Amino acid sequence: MTKKGTGLKIAISAVLCLFILILAIRQGSVYISLKDLFGIIGGHLTGKGTPEGIEPMMDSIFWTIRMPRAIMAFLVGGALSMSGACMQALLQNPLASSYTLGVSSGASLGAALVLILEISIPVLSGFMLPFAGFVFGLATVVIALMLTSAIDKSVSNTTVVLIGMVLSLFVNGMMNLLSTLNADHSKQLILWMMGSFSARGWKHCAILFPVCVLGFICLMIMSRKMDIMSFGDLQAQAMGVDAKKTKILAILICALLTGVSVAFTGVIGFIDLAAPHVVRKIFGPTHKMVIPMSFIYGGAFMALCDLISRTLLSPREIPVGAVTALLGAPFFAYVFFASRRKRA
């Protein structure tokens, strides 16, 4: 791919992403003109408050509800996609995802315990559920890595994936048992697990944003190592990359990105699997492109899915996880198999 061709693709992607983000903010039961939207954003960013001619209620809807929700969806989609891209390269497995090591099942168990036992820590106030989800999600990954290291000193990919699967199934079993024994909380738990961006505000974005920036920087610094790891552990070692150390460090970064995302929004699948593959088809497999473009594509796709989830059957809201899978699966199949057919 020529530099000019890549530049053009990046520019088109950026414009498309911005368009989707603006669409996700504007569309809904209440509509706003672009001028008023930028007026509201400008007013808040400059500290001047709501511009003249715009009702305070409109300001409230767009600044405190729609914008943080769309940005949150974008950040979660981006974080999940970046970590999906990284896991696929590290484990040399195109079907690996950010959930491979059991982050989602761990987080779900944490959420289930909080809901069922009605645990509350005053300092965390509204953040108890995400906090428990994050801690349990990360703990599951750490346990998976410790078990893997104990069983297989070289931390081979097959062991990592198998331990992740076994642990996920075990933790899922525990959670199912808990929710069966406490049927009163089942509905609440199922809704959490299906994922939603409802009622996500700036305070949530303020936590996820620095995590995304940190994860992005770390993964970009490791991008060349990820390229080399894509050829397998043996070749990576031969070429000067400490495969075991790189794998553990990158998995922990991915667990952080996924854990915080899942903790705030529940389990939203598919995007982390599909977005990196779509990006590789468009931009090639080098990770200095795959990581940032996965963030942009994953983020835009999640924002679009959230828009559909809240508007399609309005006022009812469809779980965003269902939308990502229903919309994403055929699109992913088209992109993946159409280009394969062309190449054949």
Partner 1 sequence: MKIEVKNMSAFYGKTEILQGINLEIKQGEKVFIGGSNGSGKTTLLRVLAGIIPHKGEVLVDGRDISSMKRKDAAKLIALMPQTSDIYFPYTVYETVLLGTYASAGNSFMSNNANAVIHAENCMKECGVFDLKERHLDELSGGQLQRVLLARTFAQKSPFLFLDEPGNNLDIKYRAELCDRLNKWSAGKTGEVDNTLVAVFHDLEQAKRCCARAVMMKGGEIVFDGNIKDAMTREMLMKVYDFDVASYVET
Least distance to partner 1, CB of residue 158, Å: 13
* Separation CA 254–CA 138 (nearest Å): 10
Binder among 140, 230, 258, 324 for partner 1 (CB under 8 A): 230
Judge residue 12's burial from the number of C-beta atoms within 10 Å of its C-beta, 0-12 exposed, 13-18 middle, 19 or more buried.
exposed
Residues 125 to 164 in contact with partner 1, rule: CB under 8 A = 153
Instruction: Please identify which residue in the block is written with the tokens 């484990």.
Output: 91
Give the nearer residue to partner 1 in terms of CB position, either 93 or 182: 93
Binder among 172, 182, 198, 286 for partner 1 (CB under 8 A): 286
DSSP code at position 316: S
Residues 67 to 106 in contact with partner 1, rule: CB under 8 A = 89, 92-94
How open is the CA angle 290-291-296, to the nearest 5 degrees?
A: 95
Give the nearer residue to partner 1 in terms of CB position, either 150 or 221: 221
Segment near partner 1 (CB under 8 A); pick from 44-52, 191-199, 232-240, 249-257: 232-240
What 3-state class would DSSP assign to 318? coil
Least distance to partner 1, CB of residue 110, Å: 33
In angstroms, what CA-CA distances link 258 with 120, 177, 186, 236? 23, 24, 23, 25
DSSP code at position 28: S
Phi, psi of 53, deg, nearest 5? 90, -5
Residues 1 to 60 in contact with partner 1, rule: CB under 8 A = none
Interaction of residue 338 with partner 1, rule CB under 8 A = no
Binder among 177, 232, 329, 337 for partner 1 (CB under 8 A): 232
Segment near partner 1 (CB under 8 A); pick from 4-12, 112-120, 183-191, 285-293: 285-293
User: What is the enclosing helix (H) or strand (E) of 220?
Assistant: helix 202-221
Residues that bind partner 1 (CB under 8 A): 89, 92-94, 153, 220-224, 227-228, 230-232, 234-235, 237-242, 280, 284-286, 288, 343
